[in-house]
Structure 1
Amino acid sequence: MDKLKFKKIKIFPWLFFEASLSLLLFSQFSLAQKPTLAFKNYSVEDGLSHNYIRAILQDAEGFIWIATEDGLNKFDGYTFHAYRSSTEDSTSISDHPIIALELDSEQNLWIGTWGGGVFVYNKKQDNFRRIIQGQEKSRGIHSNLIYDIFKDSRGRMWIGTGGMGLEMYDPKQQKFFHYKHNPEDASSLSHNRVMSITEGENGVLWLGTLGGGLNRFDPETAKFTKFLHEEGNAYSLSGNEVFKVFFDSKQRLWAGTWGSGLNLMDKDTHQFTRFKHDPDDPFGLSNDEVWCITEAKDGRIWIGTDHGLALYNEEKKNFYVFEHDPFDPKSLSGNPIKSLYSDARGRLWVGTYNKGISIFDKQMNLFEHYYKKFNQNSVADNNVSAFLNLNDRHVLIGTDGQGLSLFDIENKWFTHYQHDKRP
């Protein structure tokens, strides 16, 4: 160790009373090493209507809309307002689970439910209009089982259904158009369960299906091109149960599957790079069930899996994984991640299965938080009474009853010194 250089350190009184907070060190959000993230968590105890979060979206006025298993929530930054079904109000929303949220070109909120069809929120009247399931081809949707809703660059609304294929509403013509699998037509949709929809270059749509792999759809020709898993071909899609498709700002297509991991497609060769969970690789994908993918305002790619949140490291082509820690109140609220959303401020909203919402705000995450953690290298105790800066690399930490901890800033490692009671 270098020659000791002593400095007077101001002790902050609140450190004695904040039992969970041990040490704060200024940190830049860099992927040279795994960043330490602090999340703000919300649950039914804070006003959410349900802890199972299916989708999250922000409107033009800044309100955050949250789709849950029981009702729709609007969050103004302070409180949650829940919209639920009412038998006494024909303009209320359905009592079915809410699966999808999307804004149309007029900033009207479209809500997709599992069993109740599609609703459109009337902002002026603060109520809902249901899109009726119609018998005629151009009127209404053909299924009330909704997986996804997506607005394309031309303002058309695309709806993925759970068995009746792909629906499209053209606001200019005020008509619905329908696309289904035809076993006698190789250029038709590969499967009628359309789980996820996104748009790539030149207005081409990409669809994830449950059992039919990935579909490329050209609306101009109304032709579908299929990308399927091929046994023995390491560059094919890893699996045909595609839960999520996502185009990032670099025009790369990501495809998350159920049980077969994550895929990244080369747009020139249409070959896939596969990422799968490896229990022996600490930098691998956290789980092979991929529910959601999003890109933050800083360009970083986040992946929600059935066991944790993964941050893609562009340089090393691997992942940093974040999981719920029962000893850390600022960790993720739960591990099954069902929805992700990056809002206008750059905050990452994480929707979980039955554990509510976790929010990571990069602008507020200017500190690294260290807590006493069971069976892990950490500070000796959460009650910190003093700091002494020994040199540029080492900080000595005094605790209330558990001795001294020497913290190596570079390696993020604690060494503990306690009174030896032996004579």
Structure 2
Amino acid sequence: MKPVVILFFSLLAPLLLWSQQSKITSLLSVNEGLSQGMIFDVHQTRDGFIWIATKDGLNRYDGYRFEVFTNDSFDPFSIVSNEVWSIYEDQRGWLWLASPGGLDVYLPNTGRFFHLLPDLPGTNGDMVSFAELPDGTIWLTVNGKCWKIEGATEGLKMAAEAERAFPALQITEIKLADVLFSSVLLTQKGNVLLGSNQGLFQVSKTDSVPYPIALAGRPVNVFGQDQQGHVWIEAIAPDLTGLYLREDCGGLWLWEEEHASLRTIPCFPYGRHKFGPEGALWTWASMDITFTKWKPGACVYNKLHKTQRQPSAFKPYGCWGRASRSAPAYPGEANGKCWQAIQKVQFVMHTRGLHQRRVSGFDGNLRSRYH
């Protein structure tokens, strides 16, 4: 049932832009050029553009206007699908775009989309994740499947020079019997971890074959690593459709990479999780409509400490990033402006440090918030 829920709550999803400079709220909607209100993902690239993946068009916002990318059947270098699920920027500044039409790579210096994998599985891309190795190799999981993509740097450059929209890269599908892959993570020690319906796997550095390391037989999603090096894992449904099987006291773990050990986080609130700027852990709990900021270090030592927990309608599903043209490729708020995707709401609270600002009366459009 999760795809239905995600699509329902993603309908008319707005975006927020915050800073600490003033108290101005601006509304951006289809009237200002946003192509569509169902937003799947948001990402800010290192050149400062805000990219918005929607049900009908990939949007690029420069702070003044939207440019919308859609499929053109007469242009082989146009985006493969109007519906885009997920946006990932690699160390080269290229955008990897997962959609029902397949996997595209956008090269900013060419303004063109190159097509790698056709017809990705799933309905809304909720289970999409990317990881990039130092040599540029890309790992991708999409709704149970997993691929390793090598040779992208030279292959895509050659394709651009040769005017070929379908580059020949070394793409390997990773398969294990009865295993559905939910997520991929490159750890701080350079290991590739895979969440799956059969537990946590680590990829061998010699032959790229995943082998189990923890939580055998448990459907899990690996969703991040904190600043202390702990890998965070959450329980999911066996068919990877959601988190509905988690209980209030159980279903969240820490993998100690240094010692290859597992630790349970007891009684951590049920919900969806995301690491935000400065290492904070945010939880969206749909059951009681709360958005909570936690200190990961305190959770590790079984001293649950939340910095804020307020009624809200946030869902940590979009991008954490600055809204400056000089923004880096990593999440940050150095200039005090931050974009996030949230769900259809009645009122919203966002907390930064000791400052709280409450915004009410959302109607499912795109808003920028300065405070």
Q: Same fold, TM exceeding 0.5?
A: yes
Whichever residue aligns with residue 272 of structure 1, its letter is R
**How far did 1:117 drift?**
1.0
Post-superposition CA distance 1:263-317 (Å, at most 9, x none):
33333252132355xxxxxxx52x43x2x51231x33222445454321134442
Matches for 1:233-272 after TM superposition, within 5 Å = 240-242=219-221, 244-257=222-235, 258-259=243-244, 260=246, 262-267=252-257, 268-272=259-263
Larger relative helix fraction: 2
Contact 2:139–2:146 under 8 Å retained in 1: no
Matches for 1:122-271 after TM superposition, within 5 Å = 122-133=107-118, 144-145=120-121, 147-171=128-152, 174=155, 175-183=169-177, 191=179, 193-209=180-196, 211-227=197-213, 229=215, 240-242=219-221, 244-257=222-235, 258-259=243-244, 260=246, 262-267=252-257, 268-271=259-262
Whichever residue aligns with residue 200 of structure 1, its letter is T
Larger-Rg structure: 1
Tell me, yes or no, if structure 1 residue 352 matches structure 2 residue 332.
Answer: no
Tell me, yes or no, if structure 1 residue 73 matches structure 2 residue 59.
Answer: yes
**Secondary structure at the counterpart of residue 182 of structure 1:** coil
Whichever residue aligns with residue 182 of structure 1, its letter is L
Which residue number in structure 1 is paired with residue 275 of structure 2? 294
**How far did 1:351 drift?**
1.9
Q: Structure 1 residues 123, 274: closer, same or farther in 2, change over 3 A?
A: same
**Secondary structure at the counterpart of residue 214 of structure 1:** strand
Higher relative contact order (CA 8 A, sep 6+): 2
Identity of aligned residues (%): 19
Contact 1:98–1:112 under 8 Å retained in 2: yes
**How far did 1:81 drift?**
2.5
Q: Which ranges of structure 1 fall in alignment gaps of 5 or more residues?
A: 1-27, 29-37, 134-142, 184-189, 231-236, 277-283, 325-333, 373-423
**Secondary structure at the counterpart of residue 189 of structure 2:** helix
**How far did 1:160 drift?**
1.2
Residue 309 of structure 1, aligned match among 291, 298, 305: 291
Tell me, yes or no, if structure 1 residue 342 matches structure 2 residue 333.
Answer: no
Post-superposition CA distance 1:148-190 (Å, at most 9, x none):
232222221112133443332233674424243333xxxxxx7
**Secondary structure at the counterpart of residue 318 of structure 2:** strand
Task: Kindly report the root-mean-square deviation, in angstroms, between the aligned alpha carbons of the 2 structures.
Answer: 3.8
Q: Which ranges of structure 2 fall in alignment gaps of 5 or more residues?
A: 1-19, 156-168, 236-242, 323-327, 361-371
Post-superposition CA distance 1:38-80 (Å, at most 9, x none):
9987554554333333222222211122222322121223333
Which residue number in structure 1 is paired with residue 12 of structure 2? none
Which residue number in structure 2 is paired with residue 118 of structure 1? 103
**How far did 1:217 drift?**
1.6
